[in-house]
Structure formats: C-alpha cells, structure tokens
Structure 1
Amino acid sequence: MLHANQSSKKKQTSQQLPLVSIYWDYQNAKLSPSQAKSLLDLAKSKGRVISKNIYYNSQREDQAAVKDDLDNLGFNCLDVPCPLKNSADNQLIADCLEELHSNMSPDKIMLISGDGDFVKLVHNLQKLGKQAIILAQIGNVKQKLKELADEFYFLDDLSQLISDKNQPQIISVVSQINYNEARKYLIEAIDTALSQGKPTVFSRIDRLMRQRCANYYGCSSISTTDGKKFKNFSQFIDAAVRDGKVQKQNQELFLIELDKLAA
C-alpha cells in the first residue's frame, strides 16, 4: 500500500508526463493488430496517451473490419461512411483541432498518415507549440509532411523502434552549461530551423539545442549568473529576448539580424 507522500509523488510524476493523442488515417496507413499494438507502445513511450482515434470508411471493403480488429486495443474507431473525397481526413482534422482547444489539450499529436492534406494541420499544431510525431508507410508519404514533422518514423520500422525503446540505457551524469553558452546554442538552433524552412516553435528549438550540445538536456541544465536554474524553457527565452538576442512572435522565435551576424 502506498503512503500518502508516495501516492502524491506518483500522481505528480504522472501529471508531468506530456499528453499524447493519436490520430490515425486508416485509409492511408493500414496496420495489423500486432502492428497497432506496437504503435500504442511507441505512443506510451512519448508520454501519457489520452486519446486514440482511428478514422475509416466501413463502406470500403478493405476497411470494414477495422472496428472488430482494433476496438479491443482501446482505439476509438470513428466510421466516416461518406463517398466524398477527403471526408475522413476532414473529420480527423476537425476533431484534432477541437481537442487542441479543449481543457485537456495534448502536448504531442501522433499522426498516422503520409497524406499531404495534413500539412496545414501540422503547421497549426506547431504554431500552438505542439509537437507533431508522424508515422507513414515507405513510399506513401509526402515529402513536405515528412520535413515538417518534429519526429518522423516509417511504420515498417515499428518493431525495431519498440525494441530500441526497451533496451537498457546508460544514464550519464552531465554538467551544467552557463546562460551565455546556452544562448549561443539557442541562436544556432533558430538559424538552423530557419535555413531549413521549418517553424521555429519552442519544441523544435529545444530539440535542436539538445542535438547540438551534449551537456544541454533541458532548461534546468542552464545555470544563470546568480547560480540558479531556469524553471522552464519560456523563462530562458524571455531572458534572451530581454538581452536583445532573439525576437518572439506568436510562440515562434526569430533572430535579430545584428546578433545573427555577430554569432
């Protein structure tokens, strides 16, 4: 039996996990039940899964058995039996946007599709500071969608992805970096995203900083001049904005040209 303080800690840890929602365009990406189980395992490795939605058309012979095959895995199988083109896609987009503006808005959207119709949805996700994790089948994905993704995986690699997640990882002790050093990596990350034509939302910039600096593992690894740490990434960004190093517009970051030249 858990003591009160243990229960409180467990609840706090659960609340700190990113919220993940799955939106699956079944017509574009068909998976077996075992592959769907691997998909769920991958989603759970990204945070706390709060919704699992599959969009299909029961009037199509190749989609009629979806509910029977996947309902027992806890998926919300949404039948869109409309003959009009993109009807299921439009329903998926509408439901996703509705959830994003709900009281329990997900931090990450896992989109199962390679359809280019979802490019605008991904743009909207990232403008809202959300992460777009996209999975598609080899040979059936629009390049623009792939490039926009915060994370992209091929569905054919699902079993290997889960295997890698289950491997024991060596956790090393990393050192802190100071604010000036972190600010340098911030500028480099923004410059990289801009040069790639990708949105400079907080989540992408934070991820690029992690890739460029082994000792940066989040805002708590940055030490300020008074020896304290930043409470969150937004606080670090606000400090850089006050210093005149970057600009912030609608949750996207931009370089001040003079600073870009100096960097």
Structure 2
Amino acid sequence: MAGEWLKKAPISVWWDYKNCEIQETHDDLDLIKGNICCALKNMGYGGIISVNAYGDTTLIETDIQEAFFKARIILTHTSKSKEKIITDFTLWTKDNPQPCTIMVISGDTDFAKPLHILNLAGYHILIAARLPIPEILCDAAKHVWSFDRLLNGGPPEPLRLSTSSAISHAVEKKVRRSFKEGDPTRVIFEVLNVLKSEEILPFQDNIINCLNYGDLKQREKIERLEDIHLKLTEVLGNAQYFQVRFVGRKKLFTPKGEDLWNVIHPIGGHPVDYPKQIWNKLELYLRSPDGCKKIQNSECSYEIATIIKKHCLLEISVGKIIQIVDLAVRLIDIE
C-alpha cells in the first residue's frame, strides 16, 4: 500500500494508446477511467488523478475519440507518442514536485531510463502494460499492473522484489555478492564520502548504486549478507554514527554531525550551464560503438553516469553527469 504521504499527492497517468489499445467498445471508456482511479485508490493513492492519452488520431475512430472526450480523458494527437509523453511528463514535474505520482501505461522500454531518473529524484513511479511486462520497466516502478487488470480496477502484479529501488534482480545479486569481508559501517562511511565528492544525494538507492558501480576494491571490503536492504537499514539506523534527514518523505543519510553537502539535482539545470566542450565530448562518446554498446547495456542512470565519467568526462562529478544526461534526453525530445 502507498504511504500516508501519498493520500493527497497528485497522480498523473500517461497512456501510450498505440502500445496499449483497448479491446472493449468505446462505450466502456468512462467505466475504464473509473476502474483506473479505483485501482489506484485501493492502493492508497488518494490524490487528484488526471489521465492523458496519446496517439495518432487519424488512426483512431471518431466515436472512440468522442468517448475519450466524454470520459474526460485528454487525447493528444501525435505520431510520436513515446517522445511526446516523455517531454510532457518531464514538463509536468516542473510544476509538481515529489512526492507526486506518475503512471505510464505502455510496455515500451524507452520509458525506462527517464522513469529511473524520476524515481531517483523522489517521484513515485507506476507502470501498466500488456503481459509480459519488460523487467527493465518493472525495475523503475513501485507497483506494476497488467493492462487488463488495471482496466478492470484490479490490484497490481506481485513483484519479485519488494524494494522500490531502480535496481534489477541481476544487479541485486551482484550487490549481495559484493558484501564480503570488512566492517560495513566503515564501508558506508567511505561510500558517503564518494557520494559527497560526486555531489549526489545520499538516498539508500544511491548508496547501493555506489556500492555496485563504484570502485571494485571498495566493494570487496564488504561482508557477504543474505539481505542487503535489511543490513543497510540496520547500519544506517545506527544513531551513533549516522543521522537521518528527509527530502519530501525520502530518507537521506549523512555521518553524524555533518551537514548535507552540495548536491546536483538529477532533473534541472540548463544546457548553457555546461560549456560546449563537454557537450562535444559527450556526443563523440555516445556516437562511438563502444559508448553506444555500454550505454545500451547499462542498468540505471547512475551506471550510465559512471561509464561516461570514466570514458570522456573524468573532470565532471557523477551528479552533474546525471543532470547532463537528463538535459540531453530532453533536448532530443524537444527536437
């Protein structure tokens, strides 16, 4: 169930109609919208819900378009639904800060990376798609519905992972293996120092990402654990060494007595904030066969940033690179 803090947070639903067309007649659209709202409210999402659908209206029957209007579902004409949805929900976040909720109705895996970024920024991500749902989309979401189950107002699908982090099952196993010998508290201190130098918010997800994608020597210092999240919670909950702050409802962890360091928000900034030389280096690497392959095989935005830092932007912090990548994605969408 969603937390108490989500009961009043706005919920925006973004429906890629071409990817998830309805099989029922147009007369059911009003009922379908009601079922979507019911499914969300049953999971504790009690805020105001808006539903936005995208598709090529030249390919959608007139009576179905009228049914969308009667059901108060905004239908936007576009031949590039995916790109338009990403642009629009990114703009929506400017006026709706976390902990707002974003639901995407689509099985298109190109939504995974921007949703991962929003997840890391503190937004609550939900997915609905036709089965089988791509694992990379599931990894970005707190709850996942099959499309048919959502249309009927049913509960979400059971997920293999109980965590809301944007880490896949394969990555989870890698991180568990990385917990070997050493003092976990000392290692977490080292990880927080890395996050500080890289200008990254010390959320638990980012701590895990740093363990997994950071210095291999650092990873080898950690003892093997059966449940990484349980152990991290235990270590970080030690008030003798660490203190907890909140951004919205998400916990930040810093060494006791230390102020929160300067951080770079993953979604923000402007292209002119970074010199042309940086953009040229980034473009050159992303167009290279090696860069293209490594980025396509990456698991999350943190890994993407560490890859880019290692190969072309060594002088830039990981936090800034995550922001640069987000800016690049938005520029591509606008164009």
- TM class, shorter-length: 0.5 to 0.7
Secondary structure of 2:14's counterpart equals strand
Structure 2 CA distance for aligned equivalents of residues 239 and 151 of structure 1? 25
Give 1:120 deviation, angstroms. 2.2
Matches of 2:249 and 2:97 in 1, distance apart?
Answer: 21
One-letter code aligned to 1:76: I
Q: 2:8 — aligned with what? A: 17
Tell me, in whole angstroms, the C-alpha distance in 2 between the residues paired with 1:121 and 1:235: 21
Match of 2:130 in 1: 137
Give the one of 15, 18, 23 matched to 1:27.
18
Q: Which residue of 1 aligns with 2:69?
A: 71
Tell me the SS of whatever aligns to 1:48.
coil
- Over 3 Å counting, the alpha-carbon distance change for 1:150 and 1:235 in structure 2 is closer
| Identity score, percent | 17
What is the count of residue pairs matched by the alignment? 193
Partner of 1:53: 52
Structure 2 residue 93 is matched with structure 1 residue 95: no
* Unaligned ranges ≥5, structure 2: 157-187, 189-201, 214-228, 232-236, 267-301, 303-335
Where do 1:159-178 residues align within 5 Å? 159=152, 161=154
1:39 aligns with 2:39: no
Q: 1:130 to 1:67 in 2, by over 3 A?
A: same
TM-score, scaled relative to structure 2 = 0.44
Q: CA deviation at 1:14?
A: 10
**Shift of residue 231, structure 1, vs aligned partner:** 8.7
1:168-227 CA distance string (max 9 Å, x none): xxxxxxxxxxxxxxx9xx998777777899xxxxxxxxxxxxx969xxxxxxxx9x89xx
Distance across 1 between alignment mates of 2:255 and 2:248: 10
Equivalent positions of 1:188-203 (< 5 A) are: none
Structure 2 equivalent of residue 110 of structure 1: 103
Provide closer, same or farther for how the CA distance between residues 131 and 235 of structure 1 changes in structure 2, counting only shifts above 3 A: closer
Tell me which amino acid in the other structure corresponds to 1:43: L
Question: Which consecutive unaligned segments of at least 5 residues does structure 1 have?
Answer: 1-12, 164-182, 198-210, 214-221, 255-263
Alignment counterpart, residue 139 of structure 2, candidates 123, 128, 147: 147
SS in structure 1 at match of 2:81: helix
SS in structure 1 at match of 2:58: coil
> How much is the aligned-residue C-alpha RMSD, in angstroms?
4.5
1:151 CA displacement: 1.7
TM-score of the aligned structures, taking structure 1 as reference length: 0.55
For residues 36 and 143 of structure 2, the distance between their equivalents in structure 1, rounded to whole angstroms, comes to: 14
CA contact (8 A) 1:241 1:247 kept: no
Instruction: Select the residue among 156, 180, 183 that pairs with 2:148.
Output: 156
1:113-159 deviation line (CA, Å, top 9, x unaligned):
111121122023123211110011113x3321122222211122233
> Could you tell me whether the CA contact under 8 Å between 1:114 and 1:135 is conserved in 2?
yes
